[in-house]
Amino acid sequence: MRKLQRQEAILLSLKKFDYLTRWQIQQIHNLKSDRNAQRIMKEMEEYVHVLKEGENIYYLNAKGRETVSSEKVRKKTTTVEHYIMRNYLYIALGYPFEWKNEVEIISIKQKDKLRCRPDALIQKGSDYTVIEVDNMQKMNENQNKIDKYRQLILRGAFGLVSPKFVWITRTDYRKKELLKACEGLKVEVYLLSDFKGKGR
């Protein structure tokens, strides 16, 4: 019974996060040792597809989707790393219950509609944390998004308290550029290297 409950919990995590590395599953579900995590995921192979990218990356297959009523079909794609980077932030921020992926923020002022879709959003009461992944996009795309957030703040889209922004990026250079672009905002920037290699 406990084994089935654990398997269902892992499948629900894959439904929520789309793709998870073995290390990420191990952390989220407290699977203790690497060996134990590998054994558990081996037992679940009828429910998942596996990408081998240094470390195994898992996502739901048809049977897995059916088990947890997921209609979203995921495939092997070049954007997998984007999801994996976002998941590292979920773990780094302490597995927040309020975490929601890709929630659109909209402000309508007269006939002018302004919208922005963060990679994830955490709302605890009146406090917002905006999650952003800087993977392969151009820096001017990030700048444009940050400018939109500044406008949304001015319009009161986040209420009376300005949100905190948490980014993950690949290089020290890009980290410095993001910090500069976010000057005056509450911001924290992680490097992928802070996590990469864990469990590999």
Question: Does 43 share its domain with 111?
Answer: no
Kindly report the pTM of this predicted structure. 0.91
Band (195; pLDDT cuts 50, 70, 90) = confident
Q: How far is CA 56 from the centre of its chain?
A: 18
Structural domains of the chain, count:
2
What pLDDT does 197 receive? 58
What pLDDT does 189 receive? 97
Band (200; pLDDT cuts 50, 70, 90) = very low
Q: How far is CA 98 from the centre of its chain?
A: 13
pLDDT tens by residue, 83-102? 999 999 999 999 999 999 99
Domain that holds residue 123: 99-194
Q: 85 in a domain, yes or no?
A: no
CA geometry: angle 126, 130, 135, nearest 5 deg: 175
CATH, residue 50 = 1.10.10.10
Higher pLDDT, 173 or 53: 173
Q: What is the rounded CA–CA span in Å between residue 196 and residue 81?
A: 11
Q: What is the rounded CA–CA span in Å between residue 175 and residue 8?
A: 37
Question: Does 186 share its domain with 104?
Answer: yes
Instruction: Say if strands 164-169 and 127-133 run parallel, antiparallel, or are unpaired.
Output: parallel
How much is the mean pLDDT over the chain? 92
Band (113; pLDDT cuts 50, 70, 90) = confident
Is 177:139 a contact under the CB 8 Å cutoff? Answer: yes
pLDDT tens by residue, 28-73? 999 988 899 999 999 999 999 999 878 899 999 999 999 999 999 9
